[in-house]
Structure 1
C-alpha cells in the first residue's frame, strides 16, 4: 500500500513542462523571503505603537496598491509581455521592501506600502498568464498547483524564520531578507527561464483572435458573477493573514514564533497534500463544485474558532483553512485563467488579481474595525456568513455556466 501511495504521489508530478518547474522554483525563492506581510500588522501595533484601526488603514493602502498593481500588471502583460512584467516587478519590489524599513510615521508608511504593493502585485497577472503559456490545457490545474506548492513551501519557511528573527534580532531583518529574495528571484528568472511566445488562441480563426484581443472581462456577465462571488470568500479567507495573528497574540497570548509555526503549518500541509489531491480530483467533477466545497471548509474553519479558543480548536481552524484553500484555489485560478482565450488572458487575470486586491483592502480594514469595536468572536461569525454567501454565488455561476454551455460551446 505504501508503494502504491508513493507511486500515486510521484505520478501527480508527471507531465509538467520544464518551464512550469522553473517558474515554480522562481516562486520558491521569492516566497521563502515572505516575512513582512505576515507580521506587518504586528510590526505596526507592537513596534510602532499604532492602534488596530491605524494598522487596518495602512493595510488598506496595501490593498489599494494591489488594485492598481493588478490592473497595471494585466495591462502591461498584454502590451509588453508576461516575462518583462515579472522580471521588472521582482527587481523593483526588492528595492521597495528595503525602503519601507526607513519609514516610521503613519503617512510615510501608508504611502510607501501603497507603492510597494503596486510594484509587487503587478507581478500577479503576468505570472498567471505565464503558467498558461508554459502549461498544457490537460495539466493546467496541476501546473497551477505546482506553483502554489512552491509558494507554500516558501510560505512555510518565511513566516517561521520571520518569527524567529523577530525574537532574536528584531523586525528590521524582515525587510532586508524580503527584499533580497525578490532580487534573487528576478536574477534567477533572467538566467534560467527563456521567454516563450504566447500560443495562438486555441481553435480560433485570425478574426476570432482579433476579437478576443478586444474583448473585455467587464463585458462577460458570467465572469463578473464569478468575481463578485469570490470577493466574500476572499475577504473571509484573508482574515487568516491580517487579523488572526493579532487575535492569537493579543487575546490568546501566543508568541511570535508560535504564530509563525502555525502559519508555516499551512504551507507544509499544502506542499504535501495539494498535488496528489488535485491529481485525484481534477477529472472527477466540474471546477465550480470544488470551488464551492473548499469555500464551505473555510467557513467551517472560522466557525471552530468562534466556538472555542482552546488550542486544539485553533489547530483545527488552521487545518480546515488549509484544506479549504487546497481544494478550492487551484480550480479557482484555472477557471479564471481559462475563461479568457490566450489573447485576452492578461485582461482576465488582471481583473482576477484586482478582485483579490479589493479583498486585501476590505479584509484588514473591516476585520480590524469589527475586532476593535465588537470583538474577535463577532468577526469569526461574519467570516462564516461571507463564505456562505460566496458558496451561494458559486452555485449561481455553475447554473449560468451550465446554461451557457448548452447554448454555445464555451471552453472553460
Structure 2
C-alpha cells in the first residue's frame, strides 16, 4: 500500500499540491449550480422557463469566460487571471444570492458564469506548466479525484445548508472561492514562460489563426464535444426518464451519487491501469463503455438497473478524463496553452447548452428508447474516430515535444550576461 501511495502521489511539484488543494476547497462549496433550479422555482417563485433562461445565461457567460480566460492566461499571466476570476466569481455569487428581480438574477448568472469559467483555462495551463510530461497523467487524475470528492461532499452539505437558509449556499460558495484565491495569492507563483516563448501574446490574431488552422487539435475538440453530448444526458434526460418510470427525485439523487463514489474510489487506480497504453485506444474504449452504459438505459425500469448503467458509463468517464487532459497538454504549444485550454473548455460549454435541447427533441419526437440508442451509436462512432485520428495526434504531440526540447537549450544560450567594464 505504501508503494502504491508513493507511486500515485510522490514526486509531484509543491505548486501542484497548492492547486490541488484549491480545487478541493472550491469544489467543497460548489452547491449553487446543483440547487439553482430548485432555488429559483421554489424560493424565488420563477417559472420553469424563467429558471431555464437563467441557467442558460450561466452557460452563455461560461462560453465567453473560457474564451477570454484562455487569452488572458497567455497575454496577462496565469496567476492574475486566476485571482481575478475567483475574486470576481465570489462577488457575483453573493450578488446572485441577494438579487430578487428576474433581470438582476439573469445578469448575475451571466456574469458569474463568465468569471467562474474564466479560471478553467488558466488553471489547466498552470497545471501543464508545473507538472513534467511524465507525471501529467497521474497529476490530472489526482485533480479529477479532488473535483469529484469535493462535489460529492458538496451535494450532501448543500442539502443541509438549504434547510437552514438558501442564502447560506451562496455565502459558503463565495467563501470557498475566496479561500482558493488566497491560496493562489500566497503560495502559487506565476508559471507562464517569459521571453521569446511568449511573443505570441502580442499577436492575438495570429494566435487565433494558429488554433483555427490546427485541424488535428480541432478534430480532437470535436470528438470531445460528441462525447460530452452523450455524457451530459445524465443531468438532463436521465432524471426525466427515471421519473417516467415512477422513481422519485431522491432515488435519482442516490443513483447518480454512485458516479461520484466510484470515481473517488477508482480514480486513484486508473493511472496505473492505463499507463503506457495507447491513448487513442484508451479514449476509444472510454467512448464505447460510455455509449454502452447510456444505451442500456433504454432497458432500465428499476433503481438497481439505472444504478448499473451509471456504474458502466462512469468507468468510461474515468478512462476518458486523464487521457484527455494529457493529450491537451501535449497538443498545446507552450506559448498558447491558455488559449488552447479555452477552446477545449468551450466544447463543454457548447455541449452543456445543446445536450438538453437535442436530448429533449429526440425524446419528444422519436421516443425515450431512441434517445439512448442514439447515445450508444454516437459513442461507437466517436470510438472509431479516435482510432482513425489517433496516429495524427501522436505525430503532432511528438513534433511539439521535439520543438520544446530544441527551444530549451536555445533559450539558455540567450540568457543576458553582465556587461564588461
Per the TM superposition, whether the score is higher than 0.5 is yes
Q: Is the 8 A contact 1:41 1:246 kept in 2?
A: no
Residues 1:130 and 2:126 are matched in the alignment: yes
Name 2:228's counterpart in structure 1.
234
Match among 328, 342, 362 for residue 334 of structure 2:
342
TM-score, scaled to structure 2: 0.84
Q: Is the 8 A contact 2:297 2:309 kept in 1?
A: yes
Q: Is the 8 A contact 1:56 1:365 kept in 2?
A: no
Structure 1 residues 361 and 304, CA, compared in 2 at 3 Å: closer, same or farther?
same
Residues 1:280 and 2:263 are matched in the alignment: no
Correspondences of 1:385-400 after superposition (within 5 Å): 385-400=377-392
Residues 1:220 and 2:220 are matched in the alignment: no
User: For the residues of structure 1 that align with 2:103 and 2:288, how far apart are their CA atoms?
Assistant: 38
Name 2:285's counterpart in structure 1.
293
Name 1:268's counterpart in structure 2.
261
Q: Is the 8 A contact 2:161 2:168 kept in 1?
A: yes
Q: Is the 8 A contact 1:236 1:363 kept in 2?
A: yes
User: For the residues of structure 2 that align with 1:96 and 1:233, how far apart are their CA atoms?
Assistant: 31
Match among 167, 171, 176 for residue 171 of structure 2:
176
What RMSD in Å do the two structures reach over aligned CA positions? 2.9
Q: Is the 8 A contact 1:270 1:322 kept in 2?
A: yes
User: For the residues of structure 2 that align with 1:172 and 1:364, how far apart are their CA atoms?
Assistant: 28
Alpha-carbon deviations, 1:280-331, whole Å to 9, x = none? 3121x22222122112222222122221121112211221232111111111
CA shift at 1:23, angstroms?
0.7
Q: Is the 8 A contact 2:200 2:336 kept in 1?
A: no
Structure whose alpha-carbon radius of gyration is higher: 2
Structure 1 residues 411 and 341, CA, compared in 2 at 3 Å: closer, same or farther?
same
Residues 1:98 and 2:94 are matched in the alignment: yes
Structure 1 residues 366 and 7, CA, compared in 2 at 3 Å: closer, same or farther?
same
CA shift at 1:389, angstroms?
3.4
Q: Is the 8 A contact 2:78 2:190 kept in 1?
A: no
Structure 1 residues 242 and 106, CA, compared in 2 at 3 Å: closer, same or farther?
farther
SS at match of 1:195: coil
TM-score, scaled to structure 1: 0.86
SS at match of 2:269: helix
Match among 223, 248, 253 for residue 254 of structure 1:
248
Residues 1:36 and 2:32 are matched in the alignment: yes
- Give unpaired runs (5+ residues) of structure 1: none
Q: Is the 8 A contact 2:362 2:371 kept in 1?
A: yes
Structure 1 residues 385 and 161, CA, compared in 2 at 3 Å: closer, same or farther?
farther
Moved more, 389-398 or 178-187: 389-398
Structure 1 residues 320 and 105, CA, compared in 2 at 3 Å: closer, same or farther?
farther
Q: Is the 8 A contact 2:331 2:393 kept in 1?
A: no
